[in-house]
A and B are shown apart, each in its own frame.
Chain A
């Protein structure tokens, strides 16, 4: 495969890099749009009502009413301006970020070859991104932020997105649905697109908690307000929810007991996480896990687990780390011969022929000639310790 085709393949793995800031921009824009369109209109029309009143008001109160109206409007337009500036600042950030990310991908396509220092640099940055993503998903925010800052890749990772996600997850762990419900509202179109029932599940949970605390009046009100309107889609669940009023949290009836199960909160966390990833085009698995598995399988050979065949430079041969991680992965598949010199690690080929010692051990010509030059023509087989004269080595035709 040519390098440029390979780079196109690598770009194909980075769709989230381009799509995440675009989605974030769209959400910020929706907020700006709401300020400019709805809130502005609300201000103007409420002012119109007041103006009509002032028109007819008693002469003694006109001045006070007018001042009150003007001061109120100034304050509210001031607040609108501030909110607009905030959402606009977010928009600008995500637009800037989109450009930087596209540039980062463009840099890859302009790399001359996989052997160039430019590619090594790109690939190190990619690893940094992958690691920051992993740390964010593991909840290690300080490390993630520190690493992003140190590597100068703040615009290539999604710290804000995962921080928000963490805040909502923590709220759910504290058994509060409010934050997640607010998030559902902000992301309603995305959630609709993937047919998520997260909002319904959150509502159901709030209702269950009311029943659990035996606050039945509030529960009935809540049921009517938030659950029965969903009966067209979630009829069965709504029926079960309504019937729940007749049960106590200690019930043994399986159908209702499961609704009271506290593990439902963990399920909400999991569902929120998954939905958040999906609507942002993020993978649910961290890229570190996916790429590591693929890489380890592509490197793994049966020799990695044979002490006499191990190579210190091979990751999988490290039996304490990657050897364990790769345990359940398949081996690489190879069809053609490829000989690696056990002394230098170089590939043996026409320019550096495989040479066999009389004991059948094969090393590269360069390695053996170098050894001979340093030792008056004496060769010591590093694997057996046997000594030979350089004249005893001969070409092995194995490639």
Chain B
């Protein structure tokens, strides 16, 4: 960044140190002179000697000041120059005002909403495993600790995660066993993923942690792979084949099985499934909202400077932001269907309809294509196939 270069060129830290050292050295010199003068006065009892000892002080006291001032001036010049570069930076042009004015804060200003927000912050801290901070924040903002249940649940998760980090799967295995029914119901394959990694750990060992033990691995497989034989047959046979290569695995087609990233992958999968069972998003919702928000703010600031006379509350009365905020794939949670014919968005009243050929348009467009009738035949606008409106089915994304 240019500003960082400017800063480094300005040599402000060096100039600051110099101004400090110069000033202190000059003051020290004066104090040394004062001590000397004192010695001279005490060593003689003649008034004339005392007069002679203090006389040069008038000049000495001023002696270092100009050097100290010069070093300060040098620092001042450097800071002013850097300050000008900051002021000139186009990116900072809009300033704090733009951020304060781009949005009408009233939408979040009621007391009950501010309490909800505090609970959201606490939940975020708990999700991140910062239990002490969550507790402290609740106390400092005078909230009752109603979030202890969540805290306990996430404490379990972080215990398991910590164990995974040190290549110990026992707590994870215990957890998937306890929650096996719920996991199966949600079509999760986490249980198999944990068992699979335990098998690989036994077979190949983990560098610096434990040695591979083929016999133990095979014995483990015989007991624990049984319930997964139908669902994961392919993977199980691949795992069993790999055991043949356990010593020369690095040169085999199975070398991917020893990848150390398997552990962090499992850790991520674990967080995801754990949150899902608690009906919580896999990512912290506070993080999602704030990161989408900061990405959106430059666009919103630009827009609000264009439509100055309208505040955020007025946009909300129109029900929709006036511009599209681009979202990353992982930040899209709901399907949007825009009819390719009319460009209108699908709604309950005007839902998307799939014609016999598979092309999807909205219901109104379908009616228009059939010239107002659902029973008249027409050609699909996107392919040569023909069909009737009544043959189309409503689709749900």
Residues in chain A within 8 A of chain B (CB atoms) = 1, 6, 8-13, 15-16, 18-19, 22, 25-26, 29, 32-33, 36-37, 40-41, 43-44, 47-48, 51, 54-55, 59-60, 62-63, 66-67, 69-71, 73-74, 77-78, 80-81, 84-85, 88, 91-92, 95-96, 98-99, 102-103, 105-106, 109, 114-115, 123-124, 126-127, 130-131, 134-135, 138-143, 146-147, 150, 277-278, 281-285, 287-299, 301, 303-304, 309, 311-315, 317-318, 321-322, 324-325, 327-340, 342, 345-347, 354, 356, 360-362, 371, 374, 383, 394-398
Contact = CB atoms under 8 A, between A and B. Distances in A.
B291 interface: yes
Contact of B324 (A11, A115, A334): A334
A324 B116 contact: yes
Given A298-B325, A322-B285, A331 B358 contact: no
B200 interface: no
Interface residues of B, number: 135
Given A313-B333, A398-B337, 15 more contacts: A22-B79, A29-B76, A40-B68, A44-B65, A70-B54, A88-B20, A288-B117, A291-B293, A294-B325, A295-B289, A301-B333, A328-B107, A345-B333, A360-B395, A362-B397
B54 to A, nearest CB: 5
A16 B94 CA distance: 11
Given A44-B65, A66-B53, A347-B329, A396 B395 contact: yes
Contacts of B319: 330-331
A146 B135 CA distance: 12
A10 B76 CA distance: 30
B182 interface: no
A396 B285 contact: no
A102 B397 contact: no
B240 interface: no
B103 interface: yes
Contact of A296 (B1, B92, B276, B289): B289
Contacts of B180: none
A114 B328 contact: yes
B23 interface: yes
A313 B31 contact: no
Contact of A295 (B50, B53, B290, B337): B290
A291 B30 CA distance: 55
Contact of B120 (A40, A41, A141, A325): A325
A397 B357 CA distance: 9
B160 interface: no
A29 B12 CA distance: 12
A62 to B, nearest CB: 4
A285 B83 CA distance: 25
Given A48-B58, A321-B123, A70 B38 contact: yes
A67 B329 contact: no
B287 A66 contact: no
A84 B4 contact: no
Nearest to A43: B61
Interface stretch (B136-144, B245-253, B366-374): B136-144
Contact of B96 (A73, A278, A292, A398): A278
Contact of B107 (A36, A81, A329): A329
7 contacts: A88-B23, A277-B96, A278-B96, A298-B321, A333-B320, A333-B325, A356-B393
A18 B87 CA distance: 10
Pairs A-B, 7 closest by C-beta atoms: A295-B293, A315-B285, A9-B298, A314-B333, A291-B293, A15-B92, A295-B289
Contacts of A354: 397
Contact of A143 (B76, B137, B294): B137
Interface string B259-291: 000000000000000001001111101111111
B394 interface: yes
B23 A147 contact: no
Interface stretch (B41-49, B168-176, B201-209, B210-218): B41-49
B290 A127 contact: yes
B296 A294 contact: yes
B61 A335 contact: no
Given A150-B130, A296-B289, A354-B397, A55 B99 contact: no
B396 interface: yes
Contacts of A19: 86, 92
Given A123-B291, A298-B293, A356-B354, A303 B334 contact: yes
A307 to B, nearest CB: 13
B312 A298 contact: no
A37 B65 CA distance: 8
Contacts of A324: 113, 116
Contact of A106 (B1, B12, B117, B332): B1
Residue among B58, B318, B340 having the largest count of chain A Cβ atoms under 10 Å: B58
B363 interface: no
Given A314-B333, A317-B333, A398 B352 contact: yes
A66 B41 contact: yes
B42 A67 contact: yes
Contacts of A9: 295, 297-299
Interface in B119-165: 119-121, 123-124, 130, 132-133, 136-137, 140-141
A264 B50 CA distance: 61
A6 B295 contact: yes
A115 B50 CA distance: 78
Contacts of B86: 18-19, 22
B294 A10 contact: yes
Contacts of B323: 333
Given A67-B38, A321-B116, A26 B79 contact: yes
A133 B94 CA distance: 20
Given A55-B51, A292-B290, A63 B45 contact: yes
B206 to A, nearest CB: 23
Given A77-B34, A289-B108, A360-B354, A283 B283 contact: no
A9 B276 CA distance: 34
B239 interface: no
Given A127-B291, A295-B296, A337 B279 contact: no
Contacts of B17: 92
Contact of B231 (A63, A114, A345, A374): A374
A282 to B, nearest CB: 6
Residue among B93, B119, B137 having the largest count of chain A Cβ atoms under 10 Å: B137
